[in-house]
Each structure stands twice: as C-alpha cells, then as structure tokens.
Amino acid sequence: MQPAIYRASAIALSLTALVVAPISQAAATTDFPVCYKVVDRDDNKAHQPGYYSPERLVLDVAFHSYLKTTRSSGRQTVYDADGKHTYWEGGSGHNFSDEDHTVMAVFDGAIVTSNYSWKQPKGAHLGGTSYFVRDPNERGYGPEGGPYYSPIHWECTSKQVHAAPDTWRCTISYQSFGDHNNAGRYEYRGVYLKKVKHNRDEKCDIFQDTDNYYPDNHYSE
C-alpha cells in the first residue's frame, strides 16, 4: 500500500507543479509600457485637460513579487516602475523660440496593487522619484533646462486594480529655487497622470543628453 501512496503523492505534486509553474512564470513576465500626461489639478476640469501639458511620465511597469497577506486580506502585488520624466521646454508645446529644447530625468519607483477583500480596499498605489539634479546657475556641470532643479517625489493612488491604470491622483514635492526668498523650500502640487497613446504622442519620445536638442517641428499629441 505504501508504494502506491507514495506514487499517488508524487503524481499529485507533479500535477501541482505543472499548474503553478505556468502561472508564476506568466506573472513574472507581466510588462506594461505606458506613457502618462502630467495634468495640474486645477487644469483637470478644462474641456481638454492638459492638452498642452509639456510633461510626460514614461514607464515600463514590470512584475516584481507578491506581498504576504492573511487569508482575509486578498492579494497584494508589487511592480517595478522605471523610466523617465520628460519636459518640453517650450511653453505650451507649440510655441517655439531659441530657448526651446527637450528636458529629461530618470524615474525610479514601485507600484503596489490590492485586490478587493472585506478587510481592505482595492486599488493601486505608486511611489517614486524623478531624479532631476540641476545647477540653478546653469554652469554646465550636466544637463540643463526645465522648471526643476532637484528630485521630484511622487505619491499617487488609483481605484483601478491595475499596475498601469488610466488615471492616477498624485501629490508631488520638490525643492524650489525660482523664488530667491523661498529658495530651497519644498513645494507641494496636486497633479493627475492621464494615460496617452504612445503611437500618437511624440512627447513620450523626448530624450536629453548633454547637448540641448532643438526640434525643427512641434510635437504631435
């Protein structure tokens, strides 16, 4: 009897492995390339909110791991969110002058999603940093331009249970150097992130190296 029991157990374990492996492998390869338009909170009520927004957050969101929870707490999933924060130094994005050029910094962050359960809400939560490090005096140490001189910290939430929801509600903070009386103080802004189509919004393509880049045409949105 014992050999038969052992064989049955081995078969059951093998079947379990065959079922679980593809699921975990599929989760591990989950990848969401996404581009968001940054819309100021006060502009969100406009007819076409953020139509001329110069900022984009372009991310590749990839599965990282599952968080351990109690049985009553549903599933919580962690994703890496890495990419770039771009800015078109050109006013509305369609008015050009000799000062117009592209601006970019690296973004590093993470996302946690939560499935609904009776002891916790459902949704998604994003945290990250746009690594702007600019000399306010523009002495040519590295990349220049844009409205930001220090890293921008992001905290965002969404009611959608998705690693790349259509809209995020965010608070961002950064040190301001525009006003000499308040230089170095942290500013806080409310913004929305609204998903746009990569193949239609050329501002998602913006890149910056050491030299300023001056496009000879406006960006399509």
Query: pLDDT digit string (tens) for 10-54?
Result: 444 444 444 444 444 445 567 899 999 999 988 766 556 666 788
> Mind listing the pLDDT tens digit for each residue in 69-80?
877 667 899 999
The first and second tokens of residue 51, run together, are 């139509």
What's the CATH code, domain 31-205?
2.40.160
> Mind listing the pLDDT tens digit for each residue in 131-169?
999 888 877 778 888 889 899 999 999 999 999 999 999
Domains of the chain by residue range: 31-205
Q: Is 44 exposed, middle or buried (0-12, 13-18, 19+ CB in 10 A)?
A: middle
- 9 by DSSP, 3-state: which? helix
Is the four-CA dihedral 180, 208, 36, 39 of positive or negative sign?
Answer: positive
Residue 140's φ and ψ, nearest 5 degrees, are 80, 25
The first and second tokens of residue 56, run together, are 């984009």
Report the share of the chain in percent with pLDDT over 90.
42
In sequence order, the 6+-apart residues with CB closer than 8 A to the CB of 80 are 61, 62, 63, 64, 109, 110
